[in-house]
A and B are shown apart, each in its own frame.
Chain A
Amino acid sequence: MSINRKIAPEFHLIESLHFPDYEILQTKNGFKLYSLRAGSQPVIRLDFIFDAGLIRQLKIAESAFAASMLSEGTKNRSALNLAESLDYYGSYFQTRSNPDDAVATLYCLEKHLENCLPLFLEAITESVFPERELDIQKKNSIQKLLVNEKKNSYLCRKHYYKNLFGDKHPYASFSGKEDLEKTNRDSLVSFHQNHYKNGLKYLMLSGNYSEEALRQIDILVSNIDFIGPSGKKNHAEIVSQTGKFFIEKNDSVQSAIRIGKLSIGRTHEDFRRLQFLNLIFGGYFGSRLMKNIREDKGLTYGIYSVLEPYKEAATWYIDSDINTKNRESGLAEIYKEMAVIRDQEIPKTELETARNYYLGSFLRSLDGPFSLADRLKIMIDYQLPNSYYPDFVSVLYNTSASDLQELANKYLGEENIVELVVGKK
């Protein structure tokens, strides 16, 4: 059988996306427990979402230390005892502080849940922030900071956010050595009281589990007197300093580059279509930035653009590391691509390829329990309807080249740009 390899096999368009059913249960003490069952391995992920993000901190480094210190000991258990006990059941305990919230996560096999859950809950509610453990974490963080400050990409990121949101804005909170040194136990204890014990937003369980798992969670969580968030906000004003900034690092063989501006948030009516435009511009391997600056000119190993929404603000930016010798031509190409996407309609095949790829990527991200849980969290946090992801299909099919050009002129203009370059003069 001889085949004509010049002709591509026929393919089908993605016509629908499905977000699986999930349950919204209520614990006896009044907190929402989202339950999303998917997958076939007997694994569990349990997330506790707290109103304890950067946006809530009064001092730099507070939110991050409060999160990382949760596992460092309670009244009855030392850090080592907690770690040994949780590790004994093969589980993983993770905490992270985000710009808008903080999340404590337990990963384990269902058969170990009854042993792990009490330990996990003890860690996150009865943490005593031992002075000695804090001192260790502070010193280790300072060592890490010293290494980060040698990285162009870190300096570039830090100064980009500081210029974009303003030095005082919580989204631009990068701890310096003094901030780390100044952190003290009392402020963490009070942060924990105000934003963890009195700041539980909701719980989310995902994976493949039985009713018994939900029952156990309800019983144990209901025994704890959590209180929901107060809703009180810190006043955080955005003070942008736009323009072009250069930080000299004379030993570098490459320059870190970030160019961007303030943008629109997730609930804005243009948001999904702007995500699509961003994809075409710099959001995937087939994007214009990648095709031109990497695949045609070989100036970089990677270049991409990102639309990054937070609760109180959003940014759109381009990020890359470019060969020092070709830096100026690389920058010129970036601005040229921005101008082209504003000035000319995107050709039909380019738009269709990107659309099909984007829908395929949703299919991939709606596959598997943990990735679904990440999407569900976005839906909860931004109060989006269950149809939010399935509706991408109609949103994308109904976005024309002229719509995209209009968006490019609205959101990808050169006005109010923050450009950061870190590298050799």
Chain B
Amino acid sequence: MIQYQKFKLDNGLTVIHHFDDATQLCALNILYKVGSRNEDPHKTGFAHLFEHLMFGGSENVKEFDTELQAAGGESNAFTSNDITNYYVTLPANNIETGFWLDSDRMLSLDFNQKSLDVQKNVVIEEFKERYLNQPYGDIWLKILPLAYKIHPYNWSTIGKEISHIENADLDQVKAFFNNYYSPDNAILVVAGNISFEETMRLCKKWFEPIPNRNAIINVYKQEPVQKEARKEHVYNDVPLDLIVMAYHMGGRQDSDYYNCDLLSDILGAGKSARFFNKLVKEKRLFSELDTYITGDADPGLFLIEGKLMKGVSFETAEAAILEELEFIKNNPVNLNEFTKVQNKTETNVLFGDMSVLNRAMKLAFAEFLGDITLVDNEIDHYLSVTPESLMKVAKSMFQEQNCSTLYYHAKI
């Protein structure tokens, strides 16, 4: 059980307190409810670029990280399709430094051209390092636009192209900040060796004076049901052929989500998984074959990704995957295999809850989804999955017209 208390400040900021006196640390986790799905299709990659700017100094603090480090703290952040999440950890008795720093950058950033120019370059190098200068690094840039035609999951958090990052300007930075970084669009989790009373006092002191800027969340269209199989061929200087198959699935709060997660484990997780034993080891069609789900708030993707053994054709490889999918659609998972993935889930949950920072992030994300009780009852959702529900979800998801396939050819 993860114990917590939740309250709201006058400016609309949601605060969650989680006490743990087994640690000497305290974590502040701030989730802003903005991600790449809130971007303008012609100015993509901006939420992530903005995350970098949040470390470039605020109205009253020249260097965020230096002040934090001087108090023994550390920080980082990530941007996803749905959210931007910032966290700091500090020795518990220095947590006020975290309140000072994080509240100041929520109050107002130091909008300066130099920081913007430098971070644009840093993000462009990140784009190159992770997406362009790696074999298969651009898979994500190819598969998303194939699977999503309307919804902003069409592009990746890094952005569609480098020019979008190059073109970002200070006005855009200011407008984005004033709207999306308003207190009423954020969730603050204070977790660790700090009392509820002290949390309340520090929140009132540092965060409550920040005016509510009343965030307006843009409306975007949901993705219509896919009605035709989509296929794309890419040729690149890579050593092996690779196939990616992406099926639309439900959103994070859809009951199908838990079924999909377990289906993904049965098919693709670890050495006892079906794909590994049938297609990697028995048939020797792939050297690697993995499955994963995106876990986004809006309806996401169930992905199958594999590298073909040299000499195996795409037709053979794809047919073998489809045969396994047909099997799971028409035959209930046996009890051993079913218990296995349930047990794995229990292990994963308990291991995931070990660090106070992980618990803080989990609380913030559950609150963002609109159901904070998920932090404790998520396991029940997994336990309510049955072999029959798995078969049912597999049947409706693994349909040819629901699939986008990327054939990534090794150039000879």
A-to-B contact residues, CB < 8 Å: 1-3, 5-6, 8-12, 14, 39-43, 71, 79-80, 83-84, 86-92, 107-109, 112, 133, 136, 139-140, 143-144, 146-147, 149-152, 251-254, 284-286, 294-302, 321-323, 352-354, 356-357, 359-361, 363-364, 367-370
Contact = CB atoms under 8 A, between A and B. Distances in A.
A285 B122 CA distance: 14
Contacts of A367: 23-25, 355-356
Contacts of B96: 9-11
Contacts of A5: 59-61, 100, 103-104, 107
Contact of B350 (A42, A139, A322): A42
Given A109-B347, A143-B309, A251-B237, A286 B271 contact: no
Contacts of A285: 65, 69, 74
Nearest to B348: A90
A301 B272 contact: no
Interface in B100-153: 100, 103-104, 107, 117-123, 125-126, 128-130, 132-136
A83 B271 contact: yes
Which are the 10 A-B pairs with shortest beta-carbon distances? A360-B72, A298-B121, A90-B343, A143-B287, A146-B239, A357-B69, A83-B271, A90-B347, A83-B272, A11-B71
Interface class of chain A by DSSP: mixed
Interface in B59-86: 59-61, 65-67, 69-74
Nearest to B134: A151
A133 B287 CA distance: 13
B101 to A, nearest CB: 9
B53 to A, nearest CB: 12
A5 B67 CA distance: 13
A168 B281 CA distance: 33
Contact of B336 (A88, A294, A354): A88
B343 A301 contact: no
A84 B346 contact: no
30 contacts: A5-B104, A10-B96, A41-B351, A43-B354, A79-B281, A80-B272, A87-B272, A92-B347, A108-B347, A140-B287, A143-B239, A143-B309, A147-B136, A147-B307, A299-B125, A301-B126, A302-B129, A321-B125, A353-B66, A354-B69, A356-B69, A357-B73, A360-B72, A360-B74, A360-B90, A363-B24, A363-B91, A367-B23, A369-B354, A370-B354
Contacts of B129: 254, 301-302, 321
A6 B307 CA distance: 55
B340 interface: yes
B108 to A, nearest CB: 10
Interface of B: 22-25, 59-61, 65-67, 69-74, 89-91, 93-94, 96-97, 99-100, 103-104, 107, 117-123, 125-126, 128-130, 132-136, 205-206, 209, 237-240, 270-272, 277, 280-281, 284, 287-288, 307, 309-310, 336, 339-340, 343-347, 350-351, 353-356
Contacts of B70: 11, 352-353, 356-357
Given A322-B125, A357-B70, 11 more contacts: A8-B97, A11-B70, A12-B94, A79-B271, A84-B336, A109-B350, A298-B120, A356-B69, A360-B69, A360-B71, A363-B25
Contact of A253 (B128, B135, B339): B128
Most A CB atoms within 10 A — which of B91, B133, B135?
B133
